[in-house]
A and B are shown apart, each in its own frame.
Chain A
Amino acid sequence: MDLSIIDTFLLAPFAPLLGLLLFWFTQLILSESLKYLMRKIWNKHRAFCRFSNFIALLFQSISHALGYTLTGTGVGEFSVSVSGAKVEPKREKKGFALFVADLFLVMGPFFIPPVLIFLILLPFLSIQVQGSCGSFSSCFISFGSMLQGFGLQFLSLLANLDMFNPFHIIFLIIILMVGLGIRPSFIESEERRVGMIEDLAKIKEMICSHYIFIILILLLFFFIYYLSYFSGINIYTLMVSFLGWLSLISVISLLLAHILVLLIISSDRVGGMRGYLLFLIPIVSYLICRSIFHVTNYGLSIPTSNAISIIVTLFTVILVFKVKTNKLKIGEEMVAGKERKDEDRE
């Protein structure tokens, strides 16, 4: 029996979806890691943490409101504050409309904020459908190729951000804000933390309570896949890749936000006025590189300066962690608990 029929008509549509799931999960873990780091600086930098929470709640409420608007429910009440957000529907709806609104609330914050960056990038991108989708492996390759194509363009644009250009600085700030605001750290009270487990529990609850709609959405995906397959236009992979691109933007934003928060943590570790000097490291290293490359007429001045600035900043952060703490376990060798107790007694 030729199993390629099963591969083409049953398994192939799952390939881009699984790829997307992988990226979304990376995003989830990175956002959890960022929240963990934020908790480290919570007491000292409450204003910064509250600001990031506000951004996250704003994105979440916009996603929820968008869900209500698209389903025709309408938004009756909309309010966002630092500790909470309220989005009330205009009229009560049940069934599919409620499910879509909930889907936007649960999944929207991961994919809707990066749309802002995507729209800014759109004029500078060349989007092409790559590969064909006829089997699990070819669909996976096509999804990966499209993601790679977009990723390279996005990274190239990021690497070429000129810090002497105010518009580029604004763009970088937007990226950092998206990274900081993927998920809120707390809702209602600062003691009530929101973690990855809660997010996953909400998704599980939604899937369990609306499993019929999940099957319906899967069927819709299959329908689009068959349409692409028979028409020969790979719109199915393009559609899923679009969500993958948004996820990729989020992942990169989260990584950049990590650098910022790590810089704050290391500045706290140093303490005092010397701690603030750490914030000058990315700026000073960038300025020195740009000046040297300007004098030597080096062609790749901007991307190299950006790369060196980030590497020097990360290196300084690691150095501070090594000198000021033994968090990385590289400062001194780990000693057994018993030996440590003996040393303490002495």
Chain B
Amino acid sequence: MRIESELLKGEKIEKILTPHPLSFMHLQAVWVYILLFGIFLWWTANLSQYSELFNPWISVLSLWWIGLILAGVVISLILIRWRYFFLYLVILSLGTFLAWKYNYLSTGSSLSFFILIYSICISFIIFLGVYIFIKSHRYIVTDYRIIFKGGVLRRRERTLRYDKITDIHGTQGILGQIFDFGTIIPITQSGFGLGSDQAFAGGGIETRAKRFGIFGFAGGAKEVKIPRARSYYELHGVHPYREVKRLLEELVQGHVITPYQKEQVELQREQLELQREMKELLERQKELND
């Protein structure tokens, strides 16, 4: 009902889309890893053949910290976003504080049990957060435009008219191919939907001979423009991918002036000019008669 009130006169909704839950796999991986590592740690400390090694609580705590910190660093390096590292750091610090506060830092077994329960709780909270974030996305495809809506606390909205779209870029990963979802980025003339990948290489050398120093530095950078947008401003992980892409292509094509239509417009313009000239001539004639 609310969406319909936002529509223009005569505007018709073609599709209302939300991202597929698996399209945000990098976010899902954050809680999945915490949960699996918590289970693994509990199993190692209690049921595995190496459980004796984990009798002292410090060995369990060390393994937990190493496992999560390393994962945080790897995820952050791959995604070039350090927020994941800091998130893991906060989770570890809070967990260690709680374990200390409630006296779980006594034996390896009790600490591993605490870590298991804590991991389940934290994973559930992150899962809820991810779920809310995914559900906050809404893409409304109408016959006039695409309305991108989203945001959990801050509402974001953008509308894109089909006549402004120059390219449609689509990507489908392996999971996307299996579950039939994909990301479609409409690129506009203004560059909306374009991002860049940057690479920089540099090197320096310094030599010192007694009091004199020579310093040299050489570097270079490369930038490649690629289709990229925030998940709120692209059709992220939409299902069914092929159907949505075809619909968009048809809608964009429908808003492009064809050569025949162009000819018609030119003809109408000429006719209009002719009528204006005739009108002027008639007015002049009337003046002369008067």
A residues at B contact (CB < 8 Å):
46-47, 50-51, 54, 81-83, 164-166
Q: Are A164 and B47 in contact (CB under 8 A)?
A: yes
Residues in B with CB closer than 8 Å to A54 are 174, 177-178
Residues in B with CB closer than 8 Å to A50 are 177-178
Q: Are A82 and B174 in contact (CB under 8 A)?
A: yes
Residues in B with CB closer than 8 Å to A164 are 43, 47
Residues in B with CB closer than 8 Å to A46 are 180
Total cross-chain contacts (CB, 8 A): 25
Cα distance, A19 to B48, chains bound together (Å):
41
Cβ of B40 within 8 Å of any chain A Cβ, yes or no, is: yes
Q: Are A83 and B40 in contact (CB under 8 A)?
A: no
Q: Are B47 and A47 in contact (CB under 8 A)?
A: no
B residues at A contact (CB < 8 Å):
36, 39-40, 43, 47-48, 174, 177-180
Residues in A with CB closer than 8 Å to B39 are 166
10 smallest CB-CB distances across A and B, nearest first, come from A82-B177, A50-B178, A47-B179, A51-B178, A47-B178, A166-B40, A81-B177, A82-B178, A164-B47, A166-B43
What are 19 A-B contacts with C-beta separation under 8 Å?
A46-B180, A47-B178, A47-B179, A47-B180, A50-B178, A51-B178, A54-B177, A81-B174, A81-B177, A82-B174, A82-B177, A82-B178, A83-B177, A165-B43, A165-B47, A165-B48, A166-B36, A166-B40, A166-B43
Residues in B with CB closer than 8 Å to A166 are 36, 39-40, 43
**B181 CB, nearest partner CB in chain A, Å:** 10
Residues in B with CB closer than 8 Å to A82 are 174, 177-178
**A98 CB, nearest partner CB in chain B, Å:** 30
Residues in A with CB closer than 8 Å to B48 are 165
Cα distance, A187 to B162, chains bound together (Å):
35
Residues in A with CB closer than 8 Å to B178 are 47, 50-51, 54, 82
Residues in A with CB closer than 8 Å to B179 are 47
Cα distance, A51 to B43, chains bound together (Å):
30
Cα distance, A266 to B174, chains bound together (Å):
28
Residues in B with CB closer than 8 Å to A47 are 178-180
Cα distance, A164 to B40, chains bound together (Å):
10
Cα distance, A82 to B180, chains bound together (Å):
10
Cα distance, A227 to B227, chains bound together (Å):
62
Pick from A83, A164, A165, A166 the residue with the most CB of B within 10 Å.
Answer: A166
Residues in A with CB closer than 8 Å to B43 are 164-166
Which of chain B's residues has its CB closest to A162's CB?
Answer: B47
Which of chain B's residues has its CB closest to A81's CB?
Answer: B177
Which of chain B's residues has its CB closest to A58's CB?
Answer: B174
**B57 CB, nearest partner CB in chain A, Å:** 22
Residues in A with CB closer than 8 Å to B174 are 54, 81-82
Cα distance, A115 to B135, chains bound together (Å):
43
Which of chain B's residues has its CB closest to A82's CB?
Answer: B177
Cα distance, A133 to B234, chains bound together (Å):
67
Known: A81-B174, A166-B40. 4 other contacts (CB 8 A): A47-B180, A50-B177, A165-B47, A166-B36
**B54 CB, nearest partner CB in chain A, Å:** 15
Pick from B48, B178, B179 the residue with the most CB of A within 10 Å.
Answer: B178
